[in-house]
Structures are given as C-alpha cells and as structure tokens.
Amino acid sequence: MSLLVQKLPAGATPGKKRLDLDDEATGTDAPVHKRPCLDPPAGLTPCLQPLPVSPPPSNQDPQVSQIGPYILLEAPAAGRCSRAINRHTGREYTCKVYAAKSYAEMMAPYGVVPAHPNIARPAEVIVGDQNIYIFFQPAQDDMHNYVRRRRRLPEPEAAALFRQMAGAVAHCHQHGVVLRDLKLRKFIFTDGERSKLLLENLEDSCVLSGPDDSLQDKHGCPAYVGPEILSSKPSYSGKAADVWSLGVTLYTMLVGCYPFQDTKPVSLFGKIRRARFAVPEALSPKARCLIRCLLRRDPAERLTAGEILLHPWLAAGGSPEGSWGVPSGDQEPVQVVPEAEDWRAVEDKEEEAEEAEGLYG
C-alpha cells in the first residue's frame, strides 16, 4: 500500500518528508464526499502535490489508529472528523477525513486563496490509498454553540466577531472562491476568551473560473439559504447567496433565533422565499440597517462582502445603547431547521402551492 504526505506549515513553503503511515487502521469504509471528484485544476501549484512515503510497519497495534506521526483519538470512520495528537510534539489537532480521490478538489481552494488571519489552513495533509487526512489546528469552540449558550450577543461583541467573519468571506470572494455553506458552526474560536475567529475550512466551497459567479447547484444549510436557492430559477449568484447567509448569521447572533421561523418546513421555506422577517426594535438603528441590507430578497440589492466591512455599524464597533445585554430565560426558539432531505422533499410541493403567488420572480 502506498501513502502520500504533504506538510503545510503556516506562512511557509510546505516541506516534504518521508513518514511511516498506517492507512488501514481506520477500516475500509472510507467516507463518501458530498460532491463528485473533479479533475485537478490547472492552477494547482506543485507544492500541493504530495510525495510517496514508505509503507507502514506490520507489527503495529491494530487497536491504535495511527496516521503518520498522528494518533487519532476517535475513529475517523464514525464521522469524518476526529481529534488527533502528534506523538512527537504532543500537540492536538483536528483531523478531517475524506475519500482519497477527492484530494485535488478539497485542496483547490487553498491553492487560490492566499493566507488570511481569519481563515484556517491545513497544518498537514496525508493521503492514503483510500482516505485523505487533513489536519487543522484545534478549535476552542464554535459560534453555533457559543450563541446557543449566550442566547444572543451584545452589539459591541457581535460587531467585533462579525467583522472577522465578513472579512474572511470578502477575502474568499476577492480571490474567486464562493463558500456556499456558510453558517455559525463554520466559524471557530482559537482562544479561550472567545474573541478570535477562524473560518474552519474551505470545505464545500467552489472555485470560480472567471468573474461570473453564477452557480447551478442548490447547496447549503436550509436555515441559511436565500430565496433564490429555493426558487425554480436554474442559476443564482454564489457571492450574493453567501451574503444572505451572513445576514442570517448576524441576525441570529443579535436576536438569538433565526429570522425565519415556523413549525412546518413548507411554511418556513415560504417565508424565506418572501424574505419576510421582523427586526426587533431593541437593536440599534445601524444594526437593523445592516441586517436589512443583507437579507434583501433581490440578490442584486444586497451589499457585497467587501461593502459589509464599510458599514457604519461595524465602523462604530456596535452600538451599546441598542444592545439587549445578556438575556434571561431558557425558552428555545420555535425555528425549525429541516435536514437537507426535508428541504428537497418539500420543494416540489411548494412550487405547486406557491408559484401562482409569484414567489419565484
């Protein structure tokens, strides 16, 4: 069995070394990637091509999942994500596992997006016959869990965090990458104070072939998708769809629930198509303005990711006088977040029931 390795230290040209690797410790059931494997893009730099390494030792403990210098603390076949320890340094990493044939597709966005302080980059990539193992620096927490615990965030804190999120998205858009699956969970904290955010990875992103950002596939978390993705139109603006997702993210951070709520998925998607939502008056005028500039039904009327960074609410660092502070109570929002299967299952029914109302315009 042949295995490949690539070292990707931050801010430096990737070094390459020979390692003894064990690709069989994780079993034969390799995770299936969401999208079909693509041919290696023309712009993939030579440093992203891994080198062959020596075969693994035959006397390794079958109970230990070891990949090169890393010991996996959870079975990667159980999810696609595992905690890992570098046995040489003792440092902990997060390991993402994919089918080996998707190596070029998974690494392509990192080949075109330069380093950014709010975008995580792989620390190392190990490719086996069946699986690809991408190691990232570990997270302290993610925004989804943080907002859920806090219920909602005061405006100054939300502004400081949202500025980092918008900056990461703007950087990707500037270099021709659409993220497509933006949500709170995609942003992770790297410090215990919960002040430094990183976009966890560029998984599910799409590298554009030119200035046209039109996409045809309907992709993303149902709670964060825009009206154009739920419509019957064959294509939509990928960058504008990312901005809508940022709008949902900001609303949830400030209000404590999703902007579109209903106990029935069909009704929920109808509200998203209409882009009808209420912004609490307790928020400052500048915060309400930014939310409405992002959650516009017409994608052409939304701010770009770069324009978000120039909005007065971010320039002012949030408005303390408009903040609710720390909320009390244990009530859960009534928002229903359907699984992807539910989203696609109700789409045909919605088209029949609502097309006459002009919801696809």
Superfamily of domain 3-136: Phosphorylase Kinase; domain 1 (3.30.200.20)
Interatomic CA distance for residues 5 and 128, integer angstroms = 8
Return residue ranges of the chain for CATH 3.30.200.20.
3-136
pLDDT of residue 77: 57
User: What interhelical angle do 238-255 and 285-294 show, nearest 10?
Assistant: 150
- Active-site residues: which are they? 181
pLDDT in tens, 290-336: 999 999 999 999 999 999 999 999 988 777 755 554 443 444 444 44
Interatomic CA distance for residues 95 and 112, integer angstroms = 22
How many CA atoms, within 13 angstroms, populate the side-chain half-sphere of residue 242? 29
Return residue ranges of the chain for CATH 1.10.510.10.
141-357
**Which positions ≥6 away from 262 have C-beta within 8 Å?**
268, 271, 334, 335, 336
Q: Residue 18 pLDDT > 90, yes or no?
A: no
Query: Other CB atoms closer than 10 Å to residue 124's CB: what's the count?
Result: 24
pLDDT band at 3 (very low <50, low <70, confident <90, very high): low
Q: Is the CA virtual torsion 302, 240, 360, 281 positive or negative? A: negative
pLDDT of residue 162: 98
Interatomic CA distance for residues 42 and 86, integer angstroms = 33
Q: Residue 181 pLDDT > 70, yes or no?
A: yes
What tokens appear for 332 in the block? 């859960």
Average pLDDT over the chain, rounded to whole? 78
Instruction: Report which of 309, 295, 304, 291 is spatially closest to residue 118, judged by C-alpha positions.
Output: 309
Percentage of the chain exceeding pLDDT 70: 70
pLDDT of residue 80: 72
What tokens appear for 160 in the block? 């400081």
pLDDT of residue 236: 94
What tokens appear for 348 in the block? 């045909």
Q: Residue 7 pLDDT > 70, yes or no?
A: no
The CATH-assigned architecture of domain 141-357 is Orthogonal Bundle (1.10)
DSSP code for 119 = B
pLDDT band at 74 (very low <50, low <70, confident <90, very high): confident
Max mean pLDDT among 26-35, 37-46, 187-196 falls in: 187-196
pLDDT of residue 353: 42
